[in-house]
Amino acid sequence: MGKTITKGKSSFLDTLLFSVFILFLVIIFVRSSSIQLHSCSTFMLNKGNHRIVGHNLDSGKHKPGLVIINKRGVQKSSMSWQELAYGKKIPNPSIDWVSKFGSITFAKYRDFPDGGVNEEGLFIVEMSLVGTKFPVDKKKPAIFMMLWMQYALDNFSSVDQVIKSAHNFSIDGWSWHFFTADRTGNTAAIEFIDGEIVIHSGKDMPYPVLENSTYKKEINRLKEYKGFGGEKLIDLKDKKMPTFVCGAKMLSEYDSAKSNGVEYGFSILDVFSWSGTQWSYICDLKDNKVYFKTKKSAKIKTIDLNKTDFSCSTPVKMLSIHTDVDGSVDNLMKTYSYEFNSSYIRKNFVAGNYEPVFKRFGSTLDDAVKRFADYSENTKCTEVK
């Protein structure tokens, strides 16, 4: 699938308010973070029998996080950032759905992932992209971008379905773009630039790597380097090398006969890493296994989706991503509780310095924590117990 652009509809006031909102969040983010020399990054290794995706979450400071088992058969509803964060009514319609697939997500709190993979081998993750501007259409259901990612994992098995969904919603939030991949090896970069949806997929995404800049910018820069049309040398040991360039080189050089795919995937993430890398994880889309490590715990932990109970008649399970163990954590997951989830929502809002944002738009930290926590509490299992 090639590049597509879809224009959104918005009034001047909607656009102005949205721009002010995004600018305010960017300012808060910059003030609350250290200067980053490197960026969050994602890749897909699609060679031989391997369908492996890897992701680094980078930040200037420690990030609390959870690994969450999300169940199939759960009824949920769409909600926007305006509703969740500020308690404000919006004119958009909402939709309900029942999750078709179970998933493992890497998140700061339940139902609002940073990334994850479902049992059908669909993967999606976010990365920051300054200048993001989502299309606004009051006729489409509005959905907060984190919740949209969970919606995709709940409902889809293919990249093409995710792309279509991006056009069917009025997504809101702040400056993110998205990398998605599926078990067939298809990938896409989904970006929102100047109020338009920009998709790079299939032949328009020859190197499945993404970081904190547009795919178009990075693919053009790659042409300056040796092996990709230019003369600049690529030194993988040089931490000043562009992440995208390093990723393209390592993906091109991979020999499935000589290297284990998961180990090679972590070696790519290690090249991408710097002192601010907080989480690193690999999702094997064919074998349905997840591997992860963090700055606080470099031991590689594993989850086998084939052995995971995704029935909603059993409790949702959660685990601190920084748990300091080695190997399988399948039996270490803790049962979800409202209090535990709320504590992580609060930790992350405080760590991200969100309180001024909530106050600026007529809400409070306590009220926002409650609205996000209540969302998960009010989801319903549809299975007969």
Q: pLDDT by residue for the chain (385 residues), tens digit each?
A: 444 433 334 444 444 444 444 444 444 444 333 333 457 999 999 998 899 999 999 998 888 999 999 999 999 999 999 999 999 999 999 999 999 999 999 999 999 999 999 999 999 999 999 999 999 999 999 999 999 999 999 999 999 999 999 999 999 999 999 999 999 999 999 999 999 999 999 999 999 999 999 999 999 999 999 999 999 999 999 999 999 999 999 999 999 888 899 999 999 999 999 999 999 999 999 999 999 999 999 999 999 999 999 999 999 999 999 999 999 999 999 999 999 999 999 999 998 899 999 999 999 999 999 999 999 999 999 986 5
Name residues whose C-beta falls within 8 Å of residue 55's C-beta, 6 or more positions apart in sequence: 40, 41, 42, 106, 115, 125, 179, 269, 279, 280, 281
Name the residue type at position 189. Answer: A
Read off the pLDDT of residues 201-254 as tens digits, 9 standing for 90 and up.
Answer: 999 999 999 999 999 999 999 999 999 999 999 999 999 999 999 999 999 999
Task: Give residues with Cβ within 8 angstroms of 343, minimum separation 6.
Answer: none
| Residues 6+ away with beta carbon under 8 Å from 167 | 6, 197
Tell me the C-alpha distance between 55 and 265, whole Å: 9
What would the two tokens of residue 140 be?
A: 């489409």
Measured CA to CA, the distance from residue 2 to residue 198 in angstroms comes to 10
Q: What is the pLDDT of residue 259?
A: 83
Quote the pLDDT of residue 38: 52
For the chain, domains (ranges, CATH) are 5-214+272-380 (3.60.60.10)
**Which pair of tokens denotes residue 108?**
């700061």
What lies within 8 Å, CB to CB, of 260 at 6+ separation is none
What lies within 8 Å, CB to CB, of 12 at 6+ separation is: none
Residue 57 and residue 212 in contact, taking contact as beta carbons nearer than 8 Å: no
Of the candidates 304, 262, 306, the one whose C-alpha atom is nearest the C-alpha of residue 281 is 262
Helix extents (H) in 87-213: 145-155, 159-168
Tell me the two tokens of residue 15.
């656009």
Q: Is 235 exposed, middle or buried (0-12, 13-18, 19+ CB in 10 A)?
A: exposed
Exposed (0-12), middle (13-18) or buried (19+): which is 309, by Cβ within 10 Å? Answer: middle
Rounded Cα distance between 326 and 211, Å, is: 28
What confidence score (pLDDT) does residue 385 get? Answer: 57
CB 281 within 8 A of CB 254: no
Considering only CA atoms, which of 102, 115, 135, 99 is closest in space to residue 63? 115
Question: CA angle, corner 12, sides to 6 and 18, nearest 5?
Answer: 75
Decide: residue 223, CB within 10 A, 0-12 exposed, 13-18 middle, 19+ buried: exposed
Strand 103-107 versus strand 113-118 pairing type = antiparallel
The string of pLDDT tens digits covering residues 36-52 is: 345 799 999 999 889 99
In 10 A of CB 165, how many CB atoms?
A: 18
Angle formed at CA 58 by CA 353 and CA 71, multiple of 5 degrees: 85
* 203 SS3 class: helix
Alpha helices in the chain (DSSP H): 12-32, 81-86, 145-155, 159-168, 215-222, 243-253, 261-272, 338-351, 355-360, 365-377
pLDDT computed for residue 9 by the predictor: 40
